[in-house]
């Protein structure tokens, strides 16, 4: 099974908007074009779809994602509006500002999209309601393994400035996932590539489709869009980042 993760498009109402030097719609279009030819089984977007909270930004996102030859799902990031996502993206259920999450079975693997957005904050946070949802989702699916997706990193990234705005209560996430056969966790938010360990399993931060940050300070280091390939083979995870340069 092949899953593609993309993250942090940072689209705006103006399709031609340039964000931190990146023509963000064109950047995402490059990634989607590559995915159309790659033909993954699933595409997962891990948040910061919009940069300006606009409904139009999600409309632009949908217009590109509809070209994919496979199902797709998404969760919000700190820049997103849950209500605007629900208004424009038909893959999202629920109402208003409730957490945007998903639990999907794909070839005996549970794909678990976890909403780590904290209203009005750049850093992420999990609450007991979402933790209970995670436990219930894991318990109700007879999966051979779980792939978890969040926006915020669950652990240190090796970047002092990024670690101030990561998930601020990863212990609650660990408690919620304790009963799962976790294979790996994938996140966005960082705008750079990183690998760590969570619950004894690997977690991976994926570079953005929009622009890439320096680890040393929050300045743009590259405008090359990227996405992550995730392959599941006999219960093992193999992953690599592709840069569309």
What's the mean per-residue pLDDT of the chain?
96
148 neighbors 185 (Cβ within 8 angstroms): yes
For position 93, what pLDDT does the model report? 84
CA–CA–CA angle 37, 211, 156 (5° rounding):
105
Unique residue bearing structure tokens 């209203």: 119
Query: pLDDT per residue over 21-57, tens digit each?
Result: 999 999 999 999 999 999 999 999 999 999 999 999 9
What CATH number corresponds to the domain at position 44? 3.60.21.10
Sign of CA dihedral 9, 15, 17, 22: positive
pLDDT at 94: 85
Q: How many domains in the chain?
A: 1
Residue ranges, the chain, pLDDT below 70:
none
- Residue 167 is classified by DSSP as B
Q: Residue length, the chain?
A: 245
Of 8, 4, 57, 11, nearest in space to 33 by CA: 4
* pLDDT for residue 235: 80
- Please report the pLDDT score of residue 9 as a whole number: 98
Q: What are the backbone dihedrals phi and psi of residue 194, each rounded to the nearest 5 degrees, phi first?
A: -155, 155
- Predicted pLDDT at 95: 87
User: Could you tell me the residue range of the domain that residue 190 belongs to?
Assistant: 2-243
């Amino acid at each position: 099974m092949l899953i593609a993760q993309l993250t942090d498009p940072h689209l705006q109402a103006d399709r031609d908007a340039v964000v931190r030097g990146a023509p963000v719609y064109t950047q995402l279009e490059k990634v989607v074009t590559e995915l159309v030819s790659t033909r993954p089984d699933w595409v997962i977007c891990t948040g910061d779809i919009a940069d300006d909270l606009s409904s139009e930004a999600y409309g632009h996102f949908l217009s590109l994602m509809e070209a994919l030859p496979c199902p797709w799902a998404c969760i919000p990031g700190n820049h997103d509006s849950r209500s605007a996502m629900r208004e424009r993206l038909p893959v999202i259920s629920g109402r208003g500002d409730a957490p945007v999450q998903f639990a999907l079975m794909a070839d005996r693997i549970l794909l678990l999209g976890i909403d780590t957005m904290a209203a009005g904050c750049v850093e992420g946070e999990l609450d007991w309601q979402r933790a209970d949802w995670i436990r219930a989702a894991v318990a109700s699916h007879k999966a051979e393994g779980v792939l978890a997706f969040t926006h915020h990193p669950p652990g240190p990234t090796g970047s002092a400035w990024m670690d101030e705005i990561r998930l601020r209560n990863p212990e609650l996430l660990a408690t919620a996932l304790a009963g799962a056969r976790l294979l790996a966790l994938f996140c966005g938010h960082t705008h750079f590539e990183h690998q760590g360990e969570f619950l004894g399993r690997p977690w991976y931060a994926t570079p953005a489709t929009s622009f890439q940050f320096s680890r040393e300070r929050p300045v743009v280091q590259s405008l090359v869009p990227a996405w992550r390939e995730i392959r599941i083979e006999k219960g093992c995870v193999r992953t690599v980042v592709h840069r569309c340069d």
